[in-house]
């Protein structure tokens, strides 16, 4: 009986030692991931590369920029967002998360249908002219309610003028199965063109190569962003 108790005690100690070692290794791995430093981004292409990499991390569920307390501390005196992203207000499309950017890395402008107005453009001008952002992204997404509203010719209060702004993106041939997605992508292109037409500041910076403005499309079913 004494021999059995000794064996049981030995097994218990071995199990606890193994568990502690596993937990230590796991914690060390987590710490290593969270300690990844913010890389300085000085060009539009570097910004696109970071957003692409961030979305890949998101899709693979390998997020690294989730140490929010550290990000609050590092950004409390100054912000240096590398990109400004105009996206839809859809709750399924949070830019800071789907691009794994956390706090302090991007300016996020969100409005139904990812459309522009004077306030949106003014915010973009601040981002690229005064805050040093290198990239403007206009991002649409699949299953967009604002686009569906435009296709259905919705009229309801101030929503009417919002969906009217999307209607020019509706293709002439509307019996296509993918008409909602085609409209959403056309809307991104038209929004980019409207921004360049309405903002001399942004157009000059784009023409000089100091910044870029690009379109993107988010698939709410897969989490993947296509630039």
Torsion of CA 147, 151, 155, 157, to 10 degrees: 10
Looking at residue 11, its pLDDT comes to: 52
Looking at residue 36, its pLDDT comes to: 46
Q: At a CB cut-off of 8 Å and minimum separation 6, what does 219 contact?
A: 141, 142, 225, 226
Looking at residue 28, its pLDDT comes to: 43
Looking at residue 21, its pLDDT comes to: 47
> Are 85 and 139 in contact, with CB atoms under 8 Å apart?
yes
Give pLDDT < 50 ranges for the chain: 1, 7, 15-18, 20-21, 24-36
pLDDT digits (tens, 9 = 90+) for 177-194: 789 999 999 999 999 999
Looking at residue 40, its pLDDT comes to: 82
Looking at residue 18, its pLDDT comes to: 47
> Are 116 and 198 in contact, with CB atoms under 8 Å apart?
yes
Return the CATH number of the domain spanning residue range 44-226: 3.40.1050.10
pLDDT digits (tens, 9 = 90+) for 90-119: 999 999 999 999 999 999 999 999 999 999
């Amino acid at each position: 009986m004494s021999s059995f108790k000794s064996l049981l005690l030995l097994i218990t100690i071995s199990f606890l030692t193994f568990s502690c070692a596993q937990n230590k290794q796991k914690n060390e791995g987590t710490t290593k991931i969270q300690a990844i430093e913010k890389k300085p981004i000085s060009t539009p292409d570097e910004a696109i590369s970071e957003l692409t990499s961030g979305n890949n991390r998101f899709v693979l569920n390998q997020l690294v920029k989730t140490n929010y307390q550290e990000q609050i501390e590092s950004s409390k005196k100054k912000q240096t967002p590398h990109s400004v992203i105009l996206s839809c207000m859809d709750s399924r499309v949070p830019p800071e998360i789907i691009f794994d950017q956390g706090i302090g890395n991007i300016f996020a402008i969100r409005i139904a249908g990812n459309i522009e107005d004077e306030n949106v453009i003014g915010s973009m001008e601040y981002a690229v002219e005064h805050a040093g952002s290198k990239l403007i992204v206009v991002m649409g997404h699949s299953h967009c309610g604002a686009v569906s509203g435009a296709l259905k010719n919705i009229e309801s209060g101030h929503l009417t003028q919002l969906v009217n702004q999307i209607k020019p993106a509706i293709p002439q041939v509307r019996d296509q199965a993918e008409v909602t997605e085609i409209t959403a992508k056309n809307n991104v292109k038209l929004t980019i063109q409207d921004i360049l037409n309405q903002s001399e500041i942004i157009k000059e910076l784009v023409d000089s190569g100091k910044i870029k403005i690009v379109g993107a499309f988010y698939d709410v079913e897969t989490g993947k962003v296509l630039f």
